[in-house]
Amino acid sequence: NTHFGTAAQANMRNSGDKARMIPVLAKAVIRLAPMKDTGDWSKDKLAKLAKKGYDGVRYLNRYEGIPMEAFDRARAKIGQRSGDDSGLDRLSDDQFKKLIPEATESVIIFDPKRHVRPLSAFQPAAKPRSSGGSLDLSEIDSALAIIRRARSN
Q: List, for residues 40-51, the tens digit of each pLDDT value.
A: 888 899 999 999
Average pLDDT on 121-138 reads: 40
Strands 56-60 and 32-34, sheet pairing:
parallel
Which residue type is seen at 63?
Y
Query: In this model, does residue 54 exceed pLDDT 90?
Result: yes
Tell me, yes or no, if the pTM score tops 0.75.
Answer: no
Count the Cβ atoms, other than its own, within 10 Å of residue 3: 16
- Residue 143 pLDDT class (50, 70, 90 cuts): low
Task: Tell me the DSSP string of the chain.
Answer: -EEE--HHHHHHHTTTS------EEESS---EEE----S---HHHHHHHHHTT-SEEEEE-SSTT--HHHHHHHHHHHTPPTT--HHHHTS-HHHHHHH-TT--EEEEES-HHHHEEEGGGTSSPPPBPSSTTPBP-TTHHHHHHHHHHHHT-
pLDDT value of position 147: 52
Tens digit of each residue's pLDDT (9 = 90 or more) over 82-92: 777 888 899 99
pLDDT at 7 over 50: yes
Minimum mean pLDDT among 6-15, 47-56, 106-115, 132-141: which range? 132-141
pLDDT at position 33 over 70: yes
